């Protein structure tokens, strides 16, 4: 393996691991969550960790390919890094709204911005390395499903009001 590859790989692993840990820290799968009515098609809770791991591996791989790509200007590289940062914030913020504040309705309002941030990463990766974009497909697919799940949770359990208990 090319020695110059280790820096981008290390940065990608550290970045996405930080996003995953931050998201986990604001996710409370306690009695409130377990008491929600869920649609019959919802994946088992045990699958969420492996799914998110796959999503983050894909995003990290796409990021490394984009960063090492021959295309793009320095400004386009900065724009790609900004897209990754905006996405990370949106990812953790969605978890915070849904799980920590117990407001799936607020998370549903935020989710289009989160979704657009994934598309922003995809779009800004393409000038750097066109083939990087395909690695964001699992992220797009999973969040598409998560939007439907969020919608169904709101529909089955709303309205939501007040502040979290405990």
CB atoms within 10 A of CB 81: 17
Percent of all residues in the chain with a pLDDT value above 70, rounded to a whole number: 95
Q: What's the confidence (pLDDT) of residue 6?
A: 87
The DSSP letter of residue 23 is H
Please answer whether residues 62 and 93 qualify as being in contact, where contact means their C-beta atoms are separated by less than 8 angstroms: no
Q: What's the confidence (pLDDT) of residue 164?
A: 59
Q: Is residue 130 part of a domain?
A: yes
Place of tokens 């320095």: 74
Which three-class secondary structure state does DSSP give residue 89? Answer: helix
Q: Pick the closest to residue 110 from 124, 120, 98 (CA basis).
A: 98
Task: Give yes or no for residue 165 having a pLDDT over 90.
Answer: no
CA 163 to chain centroid: 25
Task: Give yes or no for residue 162 having a pLDDT over 70.
Answer: no
Which three-class secondary structure state does DSSP give residue 100? Answer: helix
Structural domain harbouring 101: 55-160
Q: Is the peptide bond before 159 cis (omega within 30 degrees of 0)?
A: yes
Q: Is residue 2 part of a domain?
A: no
Q: Is residue 110 part of a domain?
A: yes
Q: Pick the closest to residue 61 from 3, 112, 11 (CA basis).
A: 11
Instruction: Tell me the HSE value of 143 on the side-chain side, using a 13 A CA sphere.
Output: 25
Q: Is residue 87 part of a domain?
A: yes
Cα first-last separation, the chain:
50
pTM, two decimal places: 0.91
Q: Is residue 105 part of a domain?
A: yes
pLDDT, one tens digit per residue, over 101-144 is 999 999 999 999 999 999 999 999 999 999 999 999 999 999 99
Total structural domains in the chain?
1
The DSSP letter of residue 165 is -
Q: Is residue 49 part of a domain?
A: no
Q: Is residue 141 part of a domain?
A: yes
Q: Is residue 166 part of a domain?
A: no
């Amino acid at each position: 393996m090319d020695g110059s590859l280790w820096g981008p790989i290390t940065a990608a692993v550290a970045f996405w691991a930080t996003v995953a840990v931050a998201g986990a820290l604001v996710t409370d799968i306690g009695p409130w969550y377990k008491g929600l009515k869920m649609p019959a098609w919802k994946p088992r809770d045990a699958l969420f960790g492996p799914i998110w791991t796959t999503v983050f591996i894909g995003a990290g791989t796409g990021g490394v390919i984009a960063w090492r790509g021959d295309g793009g200007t320095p400004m386009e590289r900065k724009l790609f890094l900004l897209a990754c940062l905006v996405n990370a914030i949106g990812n953790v913020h969605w978890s915070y709204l849904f799980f920590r504040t117990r407001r799936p309705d607020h998370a549903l309002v935020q989710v289009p911005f989160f979704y657009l941030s994934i598309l922003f990463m995809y779009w800004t990766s393409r000038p750097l390395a066109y083939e990087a974009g395909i690695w964001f497909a699992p992220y797009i697919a999973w969040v598409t499903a998560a939007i439907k799940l969020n919608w169904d949770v709101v529909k089955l359990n709303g309205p939501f009001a007040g502040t979290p208990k405990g």
